[in-house]
Amino acid sequence: MMETVDIQVTRVKKSRLNEMDFNHLPFGKYFSDHMLEADYSNGEWQMVSIKPYQPISFEPSLMALHYGQSIFEGIKAYRSKSGEAFIYRPYDNLKRFNISAERMDMPLVPEDIFIEGMRQLVEIDKEWIPAKEEYSLYIRPFMFATDAALGVKASETYKFMILLSPTGPYYAAPMKIYVEEKYTRAAPGGVGFAKNAGNYGGALKATSEARAQGYDQVLWTDAFEHKWLQEVGTMNVFFVFGKTVVTPSLDEGTILEGVTRDSVIQVLREQGLRVEERRINIDEVVEGHRSGKLTEIFGSGTAATISPLKELRYKDYSMYLDVAAYQVAPEAKKILTEIREGKRPDIHGWLVKV
């Protein structure tokens, strides 16, 4: 049984909900009325509160700004066809959040603050969940160092927060991806498996260069040969070879253990497909495309859910795929959507009722 956390709640005097245009919701631009905030000092979490969404103040010497002790998660809340609000697999995100915290030498966030705090926050702002297909309430828990001092060491104080953002589809159209060979996202022994801010900051240059060439994102490769595939900038990646689906393994600690990735793997196996989590080389993908064995490439992530790729570019070779002929990715997306909407039984217990 989860302990009950004492959360001080201060509600807004007037909601901004009526100011929102729910037909136009770009990802991560708008935020709900309230946010959760908690502080860590003297070895314990304290001052847990839900308050109106507002700016926060801090010293210019805030350690998170100088040494990058900052982690986050991405979770979604949905509204079922009956109108009930559910959060999708938050316990798995809590587990991954604390794995990231441990790697970045930060304190763990207890379940009562992370899960119960999130549940109460979503309950207060549940009217912000869009009641539209492929729309959701994006949940952003994050933590950062708050010591006001310079010096390369772990902070002694931290702030944990949760924000809510109503959003539409992250990628509205099939994607074009560039295989990255120059820059490196992660190497064994690094922090590639942790959802820390630096992983994303370090990816921006490569992504900007890819976009300048007409691509949406990059597919990262290993740091040594630039041949072994890792993940797309915002998603895990899957390759369909007939009845076999291959996704890069987690063994080397260079990619994020995606919650949606795990959901997709389970759903695909339940559909009778063979799913292999293993190392996969770009040469295998190129050969599969040339021979016709490669039939689909798609990404999975909390923000993106499931996104098909229509082009993968490696060196001077472009692999074009007929997204209209895809079968595996659309079926997996359909099943996950039906689970979230309550049209299909949630046999795995993925949905946590608000």
Q: Provide the pLDDT for residue 12.
A: 97
Q: Which domains does the chain have, with CATH numbers?
A: 8-169 (3.30.470.10), 175-341 (3.20.10.10)
Buried/exposed code over 203-224 (b: 16+ C-beta within 10 A; e: otherwise): beebbeebeeeebbbbbbbbbe
DSSP states along 208-239: HHHHHTT-SEEEEE-TTTS-BEEEETTBEEEE
Q: Provide the pLDDT for residue 131.
A: 84
Contact 250, 193 (CB under 8 A): yes
Q: Provide the pLDDT for residue 46.
A: 95
Contact 313, 232 (CB under 8 A): no
Q: Provide the pLDDT for residue 3.
A: 54
Q: Provide the pLDDT for residue 1.
A: 37
How far apart (Å, rounded) are the C-alpha atoms in residues 348 and 354? 17
pLDDT lower than 50: segments of the chain: 1-2
- Of 21, 30, 224, 262, the residue nearest 138 (C-alpha): 30
284-337 per-position pLDDT tens digit: 999 999 999 999 999 999 876 899 999 999 999 999 999 999 999 999 999 999
